[in-house]
A and B are shown apart, each in its own frame.
Chain A
Amino acid sequence: MTKEEAPGATEEEQQAQSKKGLKKQQKEAEKAAKKAEKQAKLAADQQSTEEDDFAKDRYGVSAMVQSQHKLDRVLVRVQDLTPAKADQLIWLRARVHTSRAKGKQCFLVLRQQQFNLQALVAVGDRASKQMVKFAANITKESIVDVEAFVRTVEQKIESCSQQDVELHIERIFVVSQAEPRLPLQLEDAARPDGEGEEEGRATVNQDTKLDNRVIDLRTTTSQAIFRLQSGVCQLFRDTLTEKGFVEIQTPKIISAASEGGANVFTVSYFKTSAYLAQSPQLYKQMCICGDFDKVFCVGPVFRAEDSNTHRHLTEFVGLDIEMSFNYHYHEVIDSITDTMVQIFKGLRDNFQTEIQTVNKQFPSEPFKFLEPTLRLEYTEAVAMLHEAGVEMGDEEDLSTPNEKLLGRLVKEKYDTDFYVLDKYPLAVRPFYTMPDPNNPKYSNSYDMFMRGEEILSGAQRVHDAQLLTDRAKHHQIDLEKIKAYIDSFRYGAPPHGGGGIGLERVCMLYLGLHNIRQTSMFPRDPKRLTP
C-alpha cells in the first residue's frame, strides 16, 4: 500500500485528501469485518459450549442455599490440607482469592480465613475447555464449593500458607458470587507500609479500609489481630477465674458521671436524661461492698472526649478489675500485674503464628516483660525524666510525649516494655483515690504502661464514707448526685482497689501497632459512626 501511495504524494492536495478519505474508509471496513468475525466466533463458542461440553454438570452457579438439602458431605478445612491427605478426594468451601488462566489451565488461590492454597483446573478427561473458562471467570472473593484431589507438589508454593500440597479440581460450584469490582484489593490492604512503593503499587489508607471494614477484615493481618484479641479476653477471664474472681455485668446507662462530668455521652431517658458509663467504676466498687470480694467485668466503655488521636476511641472494651485486699494495696497491683504477665505469656506461647502474621505487615520488636513486674514510683520517674533533660514539676501529670520518653528510658535501663508507675500525685487523680498516708500530696494510685503508653489506670479507693465525702467536696462534686455511691460505704466496706484496662490498647501495644483503629473491629471515634 505504501508503494502505491508514494507517487500520489507528489500530486495535488485534493487528491491526497481523497486518498486519506479512502484510507479511512478502508480502515473502517476492516474494523467492521473484524468485529463481525469476533461476533461469529463468540457465537460459535457459545454454540460449542452448549453443544459439546462433556463436563457440563461439573461446574456452575449452584442454587441459593435455602437449606433445601442436608448434604452428607464433609467439607475439609484449608488448614487441614497437608501432605497427610495426599491423593484423597475431598470437598472444600473457600473464597477465590485470585485466579489466573493460562492456556488450558487455570490456577486459583483458594482462601479460608488466614489460610490459603493453590488449586488447578486443567483441560483433560475430567474438565472441559468451558469449565476452565468458567473457573477463570469467577470473580475474586466469590465463595465456591470445590471437589478436588489433594496432590503433593515438588516445589514449595511460597505464596500460600499450605505450601506442600495443591488441589486438582474435579468440580467447582459458585455458592455466592462477589461483584466484579471490589472497593479495595486485599493484596493492597495487606501490603506493608513502604513496600511496593518502588513498584508503584497501591496501599490502602486507613479510612478506606475502615469504610470497607468487611473486606478489610478478611486480610490475614486483620484475621490475626482479632484472633489475638479474642485470646486476650480469654486469657484475662481464665487467669482471673483461677484466682477466684467473679465475672459481673454492670449497667451502661447510668444516672451520674463517675469521674468528672465533662466527657460523658448524654442519652435521653424517657422524661429525663442519663449517661453512658465511662467505666463500671462505681458498680464494681458496690459489688465489693456487696461482699463479692474479687470481681471483674468485660464490657463497653464510653468516652465523649473529642480527641482524634491514634489511641483514643469513643467506645472501647474495658477489662475492669476490682478486689478487696488485706493490708496494702500492693496486693492489688501484684494481682493485676500477674494477670497481665499471664496474658503476655499466653499470647507469646499460643499466638506465635498470629503475632508473626501481623509482624509481616507491621514490623515491631517482640514484646518484653519482667517477672515480677517492674514497679517505679512517680518521683523516680520524674527524676529519670529530669536526668534526660525534661523540665517538669514534681506533681505535674505526665504529658503524652513524656510518657513515651519515659517508656524508652525504662526500656533502655530495665529492658522491659511493661511496668507499673506507682504513687501518682493526688491532685491529678479522681476524687475516690486514697491519699498516701506518708505524703498527702501523693496517692495510692498507679498506671500501667506498655511500650510507653498507658493501658491501665487504677488505685486504692477510699472505702470510708466520711473521707470520701471530704474528697468529693474538695473536687467540687455535687454530693446529691453520688449519694447512693457514698452510702454504699456506710455499712462496712473492706479496703479495696482495682483498675481498668482498654482491650484495644493492649492489643495495639502488644503487637506494636500505631493506631488503635486497627485493633477495634468497628471503631468509634468523634468522626466515625459507621460501619
Chain B
Amino acid sequence: MALRELSSLEKYLGLKKPNKYSTQGEKKVPVLQKANAPPLVGLVTVACHLAKEAKRPELLGDSAESRALVQQWLEYRVTKLDGCTREDAKTVLKDLNLYLQDKVYMAGNQFTLADTFMFYGIHPLIVDFAVQEKEQYVNVTRWFDHIQHYPGIRHPLPPVVVLRNKIYSSKHY
C-alpha cells in the first residue's frame, strides 16, 4: 500500500520519472535507493524527500508551527492509524472528528502532505462506512470529501459518495 501511495504522490507532484522502490522487513517499509546517495527508509521520510525534490516545500508546512503539525500528523498516520483494529478506528475517528471541527486542512488553512497521507490512511475505513456512520463523523467526512476532490490526489482510489444533507438529524433515531 505504501508503494502505491508514493507513486500516487509522485503523480500529484508531477515528477516526470517514477522512482523505483524496494521494501524492507515484514512490514514492507518502502526504501528509495538513489544513485550516489544513502538509501531513504520509511514512508514519511521518502514522502518528505519527494516534496523537496519537486520544489514544493510548502507541502511540509510554511511556518514553524505548521511544519510541526505536518510532522505530527504524518507520525500519527504511521503509528496510530496504520494497522489499527476496528475498535481503535472508532476512537481515532472520534478524536479526528473533534480536531477537524474548526479546520479545513489537517495543518490549518493550507493543504499539506499531512492531508495526503491521512487521506490515504482513512480511505479504506470510509469506503466501508454506511451513510449513518459518515454522518456521525461529519467533520472527518467533510474534510475527506474535500481532499478526494482536491486535484490529483484521489487517483486511483474509488470515489466515496458523501451526502451534503444530514438525514439522521433526529437524536431519537
Contacts and interface: CB of A to CB of B under 8 A. Distances in A.
Interface of A: 363-365, 387-389, 401, 405, 408-409, 411-412, 512
A389 B172 contact: no
Contacts of B166: 412
19 contacts: A363-B172, A364-B172, A365-B173, A388-B131, A388-B161, A389-B131, A389-B160, A389-B161, A389-B162, A401-B130, A405-B130, A405-B132, A408-B131, A408-B167, A408-B168, A409-B167, A411-B167, A412-B166, A412-B167
Contacts of B132: 405
Interface in B121-173: 130-132, 160-163, 165-168, 170, 172-173
A452 to B, nearest CB: 9
Contacts of A389: 131, 160-163
Classify chain B's interface size: 10 to 19
Closest 6 CB pairs of A and B: A389-B161, A408-B167, A412-B167, A363-B172, A364-B172, A365-B170
A365 B173 CA distance: 8
A364 B165 CA distance: 21
A127 to B, nearest CB: 47
Contacts of B167: 408-409, 411-412
Contacts of B161: 387-389
A359 B31 CA distance: 61
A101 B163 CA distance: 59
A407 B95 CA distance: 30
A193 to B, nearest CB: 11
Contacts of B173: 365, 408
Max count, chain B CB within 10 A of own CB: residue among A363, A389, A405, A512? A389
B35 to A, nearest CB: 46
Given A365-B173, A388-B131, 18 more contacts: A364-B172, A365-B172, A387-B161, A388-B161, A388-B163, A389-B131, A389-B160, A389-B161, A389-B162, A389-B163, A405-B130, A408-B131, A408-B168, A408-B173, A409-B167, A411-B167, A412-B165, A412-B166
A408 B132 CA distance: 10
B89 to A, nearest CB: 19
A363 B161 CA distance: 31
Contacts, number: 28
A412 B131 CA distance: 13
A409 B160 CA distance: 17
- Among A363, A387, A412, find the residue whose CB has the most chain B CB atoms closer than 10 A: A412
Given A388-B131, A401-B130, A405-B130, A512 B172 contact: yes
Nearest to B160: A389
Contacts of A409: 167
A363 B130 CA distance: 24
Contacts of B130: 401, 405
A500 B172 CA distance: 28
A191 to B, nearest CB: 17
Interface in B71-119: none
A405 B161 CA distance: 14
B166 to A, nearest CB: 8
A242 to B, nearest CB: 34
Contacts of A411: 167
B63 to A, nearest CB: 37
Contacts of A363: 172
A389 B172 CA distance: 24
Interface in B36-86: none
B172 to A, nearest CB: 5
Contacts of B168: 408
A16 to B, nearest CB: 60
A40 B134 CA distance: 73
Contacts of B162: 389
Nearest to A362: B172
Contacts of A401: 130
A405 B129 CA distance: 13
Contacts of A364: 172
Contacts of A408: 131, 167-168, 173
Nearest to B134: A389
A512 B170 CA distance: 12
A49 B163 CA distance: 76
A292 B141 CA distance: 57
A26 B131 CA distance: 75
Contacts of A412: 165-167
A401 B128 CA distance: 14
Nearest to A405: B131
Q: Could you say which of A363, A365, A388, A408 has the most chain B C-beta atoms within 10 Å of its C-beta? A: A408
A409 B165 CA distance: 9
A411 B166 CA distance: 11
A478 B74 CA distance: 66
Nearest to B135: A408
Contacts of A405: 130-132
B157 to A, nearest CB: 14
A364 B170 CA distance: 9
A273 to B, nearest CB: 44
Contacts of A512: 172
A389 B148 CA distance: 15
Contacts of B165: 412
Contacts of B131: 388-389, 405, 408
A412 B168 CA distance: 9
A121 B53 CA distance: 91
Nearest to A364: B172
Contacts of B160: 389
A416 to B, nearest CB: 13
Contacts of B170: 365
A409 B135 CA distance: 13
A267 to B, nearest CB: 41
Contacts of A365: 170, 172-173
Nearest to A401: B130
Nearest to A451: B173
Nearest to B170: A365
Nearest to A412: B167
Nearest to B163: A388
